[in-house]
Amino acid sequence: MGGIRMKNGKKIAFIGAGVMGGPMAGHLMDAGHSLTVYTRTREKAEALNQKGARWAASPAEAADGAEVIMTMVGYPKDVEEVYFGERGIFSTAGSGAVLIDFTTSSPQLAVRIAEQAESAGCSAVDAPVSGGDVGARNATLSIMCGGPEKAFSEILPLLEKVGQNIVYHGPAGSGQHVKMSNQVVIATSMIGVCEALAYAVKSGLDPELVLKSISAGAAGSWTLSNLAPRMLKGDFAPGFYIKHFLKDLRIALDESKALGLELPGVALAERMYTTLAETGSEDEGTQALYKLYL
Amino acid sequence: MGGIRMKNGKKIAFIGAGVMGGPMAGHLMDAGHSLTVYTRTREKAEALNQKGARWAASPAEAADGAEVIMTMVGYPKDVEEVYFGERGIFSTAGSGAVLIDFTTSSPQLAVRIAEQAESAGCSAVDAPVSGGDVGARNATLSIMCGGPEKAFSEILPLLEKVGQNIVYHGPAGSGQHVKMSNQVVIATSMIGVCEALAYAVKSGLDPELVLKSISAGAAGSWTLSNLAPRMLKGDFAPGFYIKHFLKDLRIALDESKALGLELPGVALAERMYTTLAETGSEDEGTQALYKLYL
């Protein structure tokens, strides 16, 4: 375990230090916790290593001896590998450790992790975040938590170092379910904003003036205020990647199917984003949905 | 023309004094303008009559001698009747009069009215509003305007008595097009909010807590903040009627078809609201879309 550990500082393993995990891990080190970090691509851990974090060659090595084990990876298959793989967290996680998965992932997988954690004498909290890279850098993420309430209380001081709007929602998988609700709202909201702009442009209006007329009223939304201007500029740079959003929408559809619930709005969004991904836009931002209307 | 007309007061005809038109006409009288009012149901004009407005037995009678003729009725067919009918506005409107249609109606009809107005020596402004009955009562409506810019400038002081966010968007029909853009955003936003709540409830979450987690972030919208709580309470009382929203969505689809534009999100909303209307919910509020997910 590297870094200068302060009194009450925790021994933390952080697995996955990309655009989100990197700054989050940094805030925890700044707060006096000692970090061991594992990333698939070693260079991504460089900044944390320079701050004094110790490098580990596998999730198992990172988790060995850690009091708190945090993960922020890409897809459910990565989460599965990192926890259940041959050199995964569960091969070394010590009794009493708390496992926190920040990845937006499958609620059912969160339940499996929680069950495995329990049988290993650990506890697991699913804690997906929203707020993007800006929220990660500014430690203003919203964090949606599920798992044993005792474990949540124990790690809350750590979560407060990386986020602001931190809500406990219930048993394992609850945090992931809330994040799915969040993505469901965003998906259809994006369709509406694209259709309104496309309609405005096609009917000969000045779309900037249209935004002035409609943004403050009943049509107002974060998407309209923040992404519509980028759409109009043709700025499709990723704030949030289409490939990741598509992963989320597919989880939401799988879960809703399991719950016997039809979500035609999400299904429409999933079809549209699939078309985009198949035509080379998977590494663009979600606002590139607008391209389908051009 | 009834009421005490002040210096610079205008002779205004107001046609359609329901939940929206009634308060709007009242604000104009309070500002010292003299009003003649026509409503299909005479009782609806009662409050204005008591304030000193003169009653007229037809749109033609109301429009006769008026400097400004305002309409706020229900459907495009009502607009058509009120302007082009046998006892309609165009049978008496005097040269130089300015015609203002506040109804959310067809952009193509707005263009027809503008052309007829021009050939009668008048001018017409399409000026649909948003902000609902609360906005009408508090004179805080957003007003989206199309028509000759000169006519718009002339009536702007009157519009300022009933609204706040008043934007001129271009030639006849532009106001209606902007209002359609507004409704397009709202339609899909409503689907997303319903699907997120239904998903949250079905997955066992406390939906109030979910709103706490997601309302302040990228999923945030007027719909989520204002209508989701009503959905959860089963409060489907009309702020905005489904039957009127459905009218708007059909206009948006007709117009987009004419523009060669596909709007799958709006098309989905139109199908869902049609189902609701056909099952007896047409006089409920737009948030009753949530019933389809219960």
Mutate to test the interface with B, among A138, A145, A214, A224 (most CBs of B within 10 A): A214
Residues of A in contact with B181 (CB under 8 A): 196-197, 199-200, 205, 210, 214, 219
Cα dihedral A280/A286/A292/A293 (nearest 10): -150
What pLDDT is stored for residue B8 in this prediction? 76
* Digit-coded pLDDT (tens) for A117-172: 999 999 999 999 999 889 999 999 999 999 999 999 999 999 999 999 999 999 99
What pLDDT is stored for residue A78 in this prediction? 97
pLDDT for residue A7 is more than 70: no
Cβ partners under 8 Å of residue B214, min gap 6:
A130, A142, A144, A178, A181, A182, A185, B196, B220, B224
- Using pLDDT thresholds of 50, 70 and 90, give the confidence band for residue A4: low
Residues of B in contact with A200 (CB under 8 A): 177-178, 181
Alpha-carbon A40 to chain mean position: 18
Residues A233/A207, Cβ–Cβ less than 8 Å? no
What pLDDT is stored for residue A93 in this prediction? 97
Of the ranges A44-53, B6-15, B71-80, which one carries the lowest mean pLDDT score? B6-15
Residues B46/B76, Cβ–Cβ less than 8 Å? no
Residues B33/B53, Cβ–Cβ less than 8 Å? no
The helix/strand/coil state of A1 is coil
A257 touches chain B (CB under 8 A): no
Q: Tell me how far apart the alpha carbons of residues B194 and B231 are, in angstroms, rounded to a whole number.
A: 8
- Segment B13-28 shows an average pLDDT of 96
Is there a contact between B107 and A203 if contact means CB atoms under 8 Å apart?
Answer: yes
What pLDDT is stored for residue A6 in this prediction? 65
Is there a contact between A219 and B268 if contact means CB atoms under 8 Å apart?
Answer: no
- Segment A52-81 shows an average pLDDT of 97
pLDDT for residue B1 is more than 60: no
* Digit-coded pLDDT (tens) for A253-266: 999 999 999 999 99
Cβ partners under 8 Å of residue B179, min gap 6:
B104, B128, B129, B130, B144, B248
- Segment A224-240 shows an average pLDDT of 96
pTM across the whole model: 0.95
- Using pLDDT thresholds of 50, 70 and 90, give the confidence band for residue B294: very high
Nearest to B259 among A174, A202, A213 (CB): A202
Alpha-carbon A216 to chain mean position: 29
B179 is a catalytic site residue? yes
What DSSP string runs through A132-162? HHHHHHHT-EEEEEES-HHHHHHHHHHHTTT
Catalytic annotation, pick one of A7, A11, A44, A179: A179
- Segment B53-61 shows an average pLDDT of 97
For chain A, the structural domain boundaries read 11-170, 178-293
Residues of A in contact with B192 (CB under 8 A): 184-189, 192, 265
Domain B178-293 in the same topology as domain B11-170? no
- Assigned CATH for A11-170: 3.40.50.720
pLDDT for residue B157 is more than 70: yes
pLDDT for residue A3 is more than 90: no
Q: Tell me how far apart the alpha carbons of residues B39 and B60 are, in angstroms, rounded to a whole number.
A: 12
- Using pLDDT thresholds of 50, 70 and 90, give the confidence band for residue A92: very high
- Segment B245-261 shows an average pLDDT of 97
B198 touches chain A (CB under 8 A): yes
- Assigned CATH for B178-293: 1.10.1040.10
What pLDDT is stored for residue A8 in this prediction? 75
- Using pLDDT thresholds of 50, 70 and 90, give the confidence band for residue B118: very high
B210 touches chain A (CB under 8 A): yes
Q: Strands B141-145 and B129-130: what pairing?
A: antiparallel
- Segment B136-151 shows an average pLDDT of 97
What's the gap in Å between the CA of A189 and the closest CA on chain B? 5
ipTM: 0.95
- Using pLDDT thresholds of 50, 70 and 90, give the confidence band for residue B5: low
Question: What is the average pLDDT score of chain B?
Answer: 96
What pLDDT is stored for residue A260 in this prediction? 97
Question: What is the average pLDDT score of chain A?
Answer: 96
What pLDDT is stored for residue B7 in this prediction? 67
What pLDDT is stored for residue B6 in this prediction? 65
Residue A215, Ramachandran bin (φ over 0: left; ψ between -120 and 50: alpha; else beta): alpha
**Count of beta carbons in the 10 Å neighbourhood of residue B210:** 27
pLDDT for residue B173 is more than 50: yes
* Digit-coded pLDDT (tens) for A190-223: 999 999 999 999 999 999 999 999 999 999 999 9
What pLDDT is stored for residue A1 in this prediction? 47
Percent of chain B exceeding pLDDT 70 equals: 98
